Amino acid sequence: MNPQSILEEEIIFSLLNNTKYFSSVIHHLTPDFFQDPGAQAIIKNIKKHYITYHNIPSMRELVLGFRESDKNIKKHVQEILRKPGDNRIDDEMLMDQTEKFIKLSMFREAIIEGADALGSNNHDKMTDSYSKAEKAVSVNLTSDLGVGIEEIDKIYDDFQDKPGILTGIPSWDAMFGAGVTSKTLSAIAAASGVGKSATMVDFAVRYLLQGLDVVIVTLEMSEAEFYKRVYANLFDIDIKIIKDIDKQVLKNKLQEVQNKIGKLIIKEFPTGSLTPLGLDGFLEQLQTEKNIKSPVVFVDYLGIMSSDKIKQSDNSYAFYGSIAEELRAIAQKRNVVMWTALQLNRSAVNNLEADQSSLSESMKILMILDALVIISQTKEMKEKGELKCSFVKNRFSGKTWDFKIGFDYNKFRFDDKYNLDGENITNFKPDISEIANIGNLMSF
């Protein structure tokens, strides 16, 4: 017997006889998924009946739907519907096989479209094929419809505060409250050269020292340059002399801490080449080949990524907003903390009052992010190793304040000398006109 034919027949039988199965599966199926002409015709009529009459057709109703079909189609349909209805396969196995069947059918369609697009160099069709492949991966036939109000035992534990990840920097942790939690996307925004990547380096090292695994994806700086900064911070070495240190000295320093820290992977991708779907595939590969399952992920940075869903155009609002949505979806899917960076425009240079209106990318990003911190600095502050951090959005504690903090650029490390007791952390009150302009774009 042909396994494909058996599965197609089982899908049809269960659609007609199992309400739970029907509700989980029908919206994902299309006639093109099926090889047998009779199965294609039956699926088409079942969906047509469901859309028209809002119920599952009985056998008699289904047969009536073929009254005006040609003889060849009727013959194929009869061959399937006359098959005996006993000796069915296990419900759990059928659901599992159906999900695989749907995913494979969708993925096959995406590959065929992608191949055609590559042959004709049609970038719009390539984007469509990426989107279809992403949808194929996300298909889930679970029958979980959520939690009812009466299921207190199931939800009570979720009322309690769940601790997130803290940095160990008093000022930052005062803002994060219980910490940055999994399934979130947060961003550091700054003008060029102020400290976006530097902040990521210090956070990454602090997370490593807590035993957490860290993945840094860079689309701008090389892997070697990132590691120079990490080594300067982790080994307490001035970055200017790292290149002159003997290789064995670095190996010895790493050996001293290696059993006390998490794993670190830094991967460089060409600018503009990485999409969120590509990032998801890379994280899957790390999990499979290096057993890195729930790392803290840093993406440097969002503005030089590509979207799987939208072609880059003049509509930056939609394009960059889509990338943010896709990145946050990956954080949710993989249950990870994700950080990225955003570039501020020229108006933010040497401007301590820089705000979200200075974002070079889309303001729609702000709607997606769980936290946005703007780092600003004047030339005088740069010379003194000082930064101003302004929390513009913060779902972790609700605090939208600003504070002054020190930063050692030689060792790429925050120095919280101003905020050891929190005396320099002040309530940030945006201008009323500013609130009026952005009130619909963000939630405080």
CATH at residue 55: 1.10.860.10
Residue 421 lies in a domain: yes
* DSSP 3-state of 271: coil
Whether 93 and 222 share a structural domain: no
Whether 133 and 175 share a structural domain: no
Check: CB of residue 231 under 8 Å from CB of residue 249.
no
Q: CATH number of the domain at 303, please.
A: 3.40.50.300
Residue 148 lies in a domain: no
Residue 189 lies in a domain: yes
Q: List Cβ neighbours of 124 (8 Å cut-off, separation of 6 or more).
A: 117, 311
Residue 410 lies in a domain: yes
Residue 309 lies in a domain: yes
What is the pLDDT at residue 429? 40
Whether 132 and 174 share a structural domain: no
What is the pLDDT at residue 372? 94
Q: List Cβ neighbours of 360 (8 Å cut-off, separation of 6 or more).
A: 303, 342, 343, 344, 345
Whether 19 and 69 share a structural domain: yes
What is the pLDDT at residue 231? 94
Check: CB of residue 34 under 8 Å from CB of residue 40.
yes
Overall domain count for the chain: 2
Count the Cβ atoms, other than its own, within 10 Å of residue 416.
21
Residue 41 lies in a domain: yes
Of 317, 321, 319, 280, the closest CA to residue 299 belongs to 280
Check: CB of residue 83 under 8 Å from CB of residue 36.
no
Whether 124 and 249 share a structural domain: no
Domain final position from 123, 138, 153: 138
Beta strands in 164-320 (DSSP E): 184-190, 214-218, 264-268, 296-300
pLDDT in tens, the chain (444 residues): 688 888 999 999 988 888 778 878 888 889 999 999 999 999 999 988 887 777 788 888 888 888 888 888 888 888 888 776 555 678 888 888 999 999 899 888 888 888 888 888 877 777 777 777 877 777 777 655 567 777 777 777 766 667 899 999 988 998 998 899 999 999 999 888 888 999 999 999 999 999 999 999 999 899 999 999 999 999 999 999 988 999 999 999 999 998 899 999 999 999 888 888 788 888 988 988 899 988 999 998 888 888 877 766 656 667 888 889 889 988 998 899 999 999 886 554 445 555 555 555 567 788 899 999 999 888 888 888 889 999 999 999 888 888 889 999 999 999 887 765 555 565 434 333 332 332 332 322
Domain final position from 87, 114, 138: 138
What is the pLDDT at residue 217? 95
**Domain ranges, residue 422:** 170-438
